[in-house]
Structure 1
Amino acid sequence: MADDNSASPHQDAHQDGTRLATDALVRAVTGELADWERRELAAFTARRPESKERYVSGSGLPVKRVYTPADLPADWSDIGLPGRYPYTRGPYPTMYRGRTWTMRQIAGFGQAEETNERFRYLIGQGQTGLSVDFDMPTLMGLDSDDPMSLGEVGREGVAVDVLPDMEALFDGIDLEDISVSMTINPSAWILLAMYVAVAEQRGYDLDKLSGTIQNDILKEYVAQKEWIFPVRPSMRIVRDTIVYCSQHMARYNPVNISGYHISEAGANAQQEIAFTMAITKAYVADVVAAGVDVDDFASRLSFFFVSQADLFEEVAKFRAVRRYYARMMREDFGARNPQSMRLRFHAQTAAATLTKPQPMNNIIRTALQALSAVLGGAQSLHTNGLDEAYTIPSEQAMKIALRTQQILADETGVTSVIDPLGGSYYLENLTGELERGIGEYLARIEEMGGVEAAIEQGFFQREISDTAYDFARRKASGDRPVIGVNKYVDGGEAEKIETHQLDPASEARQIARLKRVRADRDPERAEAALRRLLAVARDDGANLMPATIEAVKAHLSMGEITGALRGVFGTYTETPVF
């Protein structure tokens, strides 16, 4: 489908007339601003000087005292209309008037049965999409009975070792009826294989499944530091999942390219979106190089961003990255289908802003961060629990977090108008500044030889660590206020809140099930599936997904699969950055 957003001669003439009128307005406003500064402002500040505070956005961009029409983009098409290239104002023409964002509260702890119970609770409270958090052993491709897993099984997410775990995780849940997101990276393709296997066992149509696996391995080397294999074979796995889903799962998103973790590692808003776009460019180039047309897969790419504390910068950030992505896909990769240029994203409120002191303040922080995500046009949203500075959220905290989204959707009126802040002098100027910043960062990365070279040279890591250090220094000095921590601090006893308690017997139950599955499986089928998987892994042109699906159906475990593939792909050790 061709992009039909080109302007007609009548529109061009109208835009020329509008531009002349705008130029006249800008000249008039610029003169009035100078007069205002010379008269009212000078007289007022002589009597009552402004504070000596350095006014900057959350990412350090200078913030002027006041913004005027002179700060709007010269070309109206930079702002445009929702659902029309370059999608600054939203990927779809109706946005929330047609469909409210998906309310996708993340859950995961203990055994699959325990998380399944939490899923059912949240669905009963009105949640419209599932999001699964996995424990550290699962994230790292280790089995629950591995010595390295001791004490971590089910602690920070659900434990999944073998296919029966995935079956229990979604027991009684119609996977054709609800979207499922899985927060998993180095072992993502194995979890996807298990998900496919469950769907096939139930007789589902794979083309009707919706959701995403995070599967963004490059940001692991940049920020989160969870990997199994070196960069190149890890990229191959991401490529294989994208190609497989483009051929077999029409509604499924095979990668959720994540700025969230880049931000949580210490990056500012500018770095979050710039580094995410650099990583996106690397993935798209890799799949295109494998012979897949960009319009055959780009519509299924999805994104995951944080919604941080600076409300206006966050709204501008979402608009800027949406516009940059549209232009990059059309101009750099030749995308023709509008769906290939529409950036769709999930947002999560910022875990790094949550505090142990005065934890009830976290409800307010989360509500405002959720508002910025909605004003920025998010397609789905997770709101953090008030207790997440302590542990994974309790049922009560999750209910409050979900109600926060429901109040935004049903009581505030923010769903009635698309991009209600569009046209704001400040917001449009900030959107343009952030978009230019993405381009400047990508130019520097290209000069280094691309994303992989920049990772190997420690570029991303240094940029993030420098920003994180500066933020920590400003927070310690009080220059960056954090209510309850360095400002308005309570001197009395800390507030007591309900927190989640993990069943101490959960780990033993999980290990027992894993051993039982290993003992009961068909050993010949398991051995044949492993041989087939290794043969495919040695052939870089082959796709790993079909062999992995057969491996999990043969009840090979997560650790057995990754352990065997280490012998083919090797391991990776990062060069430390100081």
Structure 2
Amino acid sequence: MYDQAKLAQLAESHDRWEETTLHQTLARAPERKEHFVTTSGEPIRRLYTPLDVADLDYADDLGHPGEYPFTRGVHSTLYRGKPWTMRMFAGFGSAEETNARYKYLLSQGNMGLSVAFDLPTLMGYDTDAPQSLGEFGKCGVAISSLRDMEILFDGIPLDQVTTSMTINSPAAIIWAMYIAAAEKQGVAQAKLGGTLQNDILKEYIAQKEYIFPPEPSMRLVIDTIEYGARHMPLWNTISISGYHIREAGSTAAQELAFTLGDGLEYVRWAVDRGMDIDDFAPRLSFFFNSHNDFFEEIAKFRAARRIWAREMRETFGANNPRSWLCRFHTQTAGVSLTAQQPETNVVRVALQALAAVLGGTQSLHTNSMDEALALPSEAAVTVALRTQQIIAEESGVVNTVDPLAGSFFVEHETNKIEAQVYDYWRQVDELGGVLPAIDRGFFQSEISAAAYRYQREIDRDERKIVGVNAYADPTEQLRIPILQMDPQGYDRQMARLAQLRQERDNERVAAALEGLRAAATGTDNTMPFILDAVRAYATLGEITDVFRAVFGTYEEPTWI
């Protein structure tokens, strides 16, 4: 893209600048004695010029928005056509409480729903299971049966909203409950739009909310992909998630490498199942973290699109251009929030959200200022939503597509992150692939090392966190309201479960669970059998226990 003769002249000019202007400035006023590095610990040079992107080819490396390789965005008009989906992640306590929060968010301009489930639900236990004691509704809403799902979306027409559900090991079961709840509303499966997180590989790598061993877990994921491709053309059956990898302490490059690598592994398994890549790849989606380092995050998002497009087209031979698209939801970095001076989190979230928008996200959740202390209050979540709305309506950043394209710094960082991704993939290939690398603890040790480095930088005051190790206020008092959940929610949930077990047709439940057991033991797609059990009002725990009995449970190896 650059004339070689002019690059040579620029090199000479740069050397002259360093020897004269820069040298004179440093003699008068030396630079600060701190490390100029990204959040990921990558060094940042003083100045970037065309010399740093001399090999950049516009057609091959950038292209036009909406065209291969999609570095500049998956849509040709991006936010000039419509803004990103403002999809606030919400869920707490009982289904009734969360239903009220959803209706409030929709009334305030929220464009799509995103369900947070409590820990027992995430681990496949009913609220009345001994393992659930003390965890009801604390990190999300409790869903133990179809009846809970019906209440969760009562009065919300499921053919008019899209819903994202953050759940993994029991994802197929929760998805079946959503499908059945929509049927109760008279909404056909084919009309449902939304996203199921359903990314089990990142659980073994980072979040650790796994139930079954990797191989049968992967079978369940591919069952959902296959079922969705056949029956639910508007549904994203998996959202391959880097968010939790980043929250565990990874660098930006690790987040991207491990997430896209997981995505390619799901593609391999689906192709091995006998599926045509263009039948399912257009409905794959991604979920990324937007952390503190503004430019590093933007570069990460741009690199993600280019890498995924190349791999889908060149490595897997996808012919449908929609199969090449890396469409993603973004959430601001929960791990960056501070309990100290929580109002400052509004600023962090605004910058992280702006980076996501400038990086071309399709959907965005902004964290609330109080989330280092509790689940978001109504006041805090309103400010978080308003943050997105101000960016969309007042900042002007929606007026043009990929405004930072051509920045020497941004393009250099995009190229660097891309190169780091392929370097990680080479290491994974040398270990035999994703599952062997998980068994060897490769991903886990890489993330652990990155998290340790970052925390040591904070502990040594090499990295400043405002309100924590910089500008701290020892007299600080909490000045923001904290969410209070309904104290009767747990009793109401327990009573509902007891009543359900008495009133349902238990012979039908037993027959459905036995059919599921036979399918799990064999090779049939399990989704139709899960749906039969859910429609009979079998509970989440009862269905999960069938899989536990057939598949066993997973214990992470100990690495020395």
Indicate whether 1:30 and 2:26 are aligned.
no
In the alignment, the residues of structure 1 paired with residue 230 and residue 63 of structure 2 have an alpha-carbon distance, to the nearest angstrom, of 34
- Aligned counterpart in structure 2 of residue 98 of structure 1, from 52, 77, 81: 81
1:380 counterpart = 2:363:
yes
4+ residue runs over 6 A deviation: none
Q: Map residues 295-306 of structure 1 onto 2, 5 A cutoff.
A: 295-306=278-289
Task: Decide which of 493, 496, 499 is 1:510's aligned counterpart.
Answer: 493
2:558 & 2:358 partners in 1: Cα distance?
Answer: 39
Alignment match, 2:335: 352
**Alignment partners' CA distance in 1, 2:99 and 2:478:** 31
1:238 deviates by 0.4
Residue 545 in 1 paired to residue 527 in 2? yes
Secondary structure (helix, strand or coil) at the match of 1:346 reads: strand
TM-score (norm 1): 0.95
- Residues 96, 415 of structure 1: 8 Å contact kept: yes
Aligned equivalents of 2:275 and 2:11: distance in 1? 51
* Number of aligned residue pairs: 558
Task: Find 1:177's aligned residue among 160, 165, 169.
Answer: 160
CA contact (8 A) 2:516 2:546 kept: no
Q: Which residue of 2 aligns with 1:123?
A: 106
Matched, 1:489 2:472: yes
The one-character-per-residue Cα deviations of 1:192-246 (angstroms, maximum 9, x if unpaired) are 1011111222221322211101000000000000011000000000000001001
> What aligned pairs does 1:185-224 form with structure 2 within 5 A after superposition?
185-224=168-207
1:446 is aligned to 2:468: no
- The aligned counterpart of 1:560 is 542
Q: Would the aligned equivalents of 1:25 and 1:69 in 2 still touch at CA under 8 Å?
A: no
1:571 to 548, 553, 558: 553
Distance in 2 separating the partners of 1:200 and 1:44: 70
Structure 2 residue matching 1:59: 3-state secondary structure:
coil
Compute the displacement of 1:567 (Å). 1.2
Matched, 1:61 2:42: yes
Across the aligned residues of Structure 1 and Structure 2, the Cα RMSD in angstroms comes to: 1.0
Helix, strand or coil: the match of 2:3? helix
Give the deviation of 1:461 after TM superposition. 0.6
Q: Secondary structure at the match of 1:297?
A: helix
Partner in structure 1 of residue 230 of structure 2: 247
Which of 52, 58, 74 does residue 33 from structure 2 map onto?
52
Contact 1:461 1:577 in 2 (8 A): no
In 1, Cα distance between equivalents of 2:489 and 2:183: 28
Secondary structure of the residue aligned to 2:342 is coil
Contact 1:264 1:350 survives alignment (8 Å): yes
Distance (whole Å) between structure 1 residues aligned to residue 177 and residue 293 of structure 2: 39
Q: Encode CA deviations 1:142-192: one digit per residue, 9 max, x unaligned.
A: 010011101111111100001011111111111111110011111110011
The residue aligned with 2:517 is 534
Q: Which amino acid aligns with 2:558?
A: P
Superposition map of 1:334-373 within 5 A: 334-373=317-356
Match of 1:13 in 2: none
- For 2:442, the equivalent position in structure 1 comes to 459
2:165 aligned counterpart, secondary structure: strand
C-alpha distance after superposition, 1:346-379 (max 9, x if no partner) = 0000010110111100000000000000000000
Identity within the alignment, % = 53
Cα distance in 2 between the residues matched to 1:206 and 1:560: 24
Unaligned runs of 5+ in 1: 1-18
TM-score, with length taken from structure 2: 0.98
Asked if structure 2 preserves the Cα contact closer than 8 Å seen for 1:135 and 1:156, the reply is yes
**8 Å Cα contact 2:341-2:476 kept in structure 1:** no
SS at match of 1:93: coil
Residue 392 of structure 1 is matched in structure 2 by 375
Please tell me whether residue 153 in structure 1 is matched to residue 136 in structure 2: yes
Secondary structure, aligned partner of 2:31:
coil
For the 8 Å contact 1:131–1:180, the answer to whether it is kept is yes
Question: How far, CA to CA, are the matches of 1:27 and 1:244 in structure 2?
Answer: 57
5 Å matches for 1:84-95? 84-95=67-78
Matches within 5 A, 1:420-439: 420-439=403-422
The alpha carbon displacement at 1:577 in A equals 4.4
The answer as to whether partners of 1:455 and 1:461 remain within 8 angstroms in 2 is: yes
* Unaligned runs of at least 5 residues, structure 2: none
CA contact (8 A) 1:155 1:502 kept: no
